Amino acid sequence: MTVSAALRLMAGTVVLISLALGTYINPNWYYLTGFVGLNLLQSAFTGWCPAITIFKKLGLKQESCNVAGMNVNQGLHIMAGTIILVTVIAVLFFNITLMLLAVTAVVGASLLQSAFSGWCPSMSIVRFVGFKDAN
């Protein structure tokens, strides 16, 4: 498993668990969901988040990237992080219906399954808009 796949696995799992905890235990758990979205978004630009450091120390390989511009994984992080942040902020701060978090759950499930399959619909979208595959 690569660092990017492990990051998607962890992000998808934490998103889904925090959404369940927010729904059934306490809405403050949605802040954890937002934190995951924020970390995905910033890691796309910086190439670093706390989980990446841990995964590297565990010996997971990072894809080499010799493409000009951003790669598909960075595009996926931008897309997923933005969607997660926007939906969580809308629910927490603008009192939009909790049903909007179903979109967040779909993103979380997509991240989770892409860690195993290597593909999710967002990857096709970011390739279409110009992000390149890492080698």
Within 8 A by CB and 6+ apart from 115, the residues are 1, 5, 6, 8, 9, 12
pLDDT tens by residue, 4-18: 888 889 999 999 999
Quick one: 22 exposed, middle or buried, by C-beta within 10 A (0-12, 13-18, 19+)? buried
Whether the CB-CB separation of 16 and 80 falls below 8 Å is answered with: no
16 part of a folded domain = yes
122 part of a folded domain = yes
Range of the domain at 21: 3-128
Domain count for the chain: 1
Specify the pTM.
0.88
70 part of a folded domain = yes
43 part of a folded domain = yes
Positive/negative CA dihedral, 99, 103, 108, 109: positive
pLDDT tens by residue, 58-82: 888 776 555 566 788 888 889 999 9
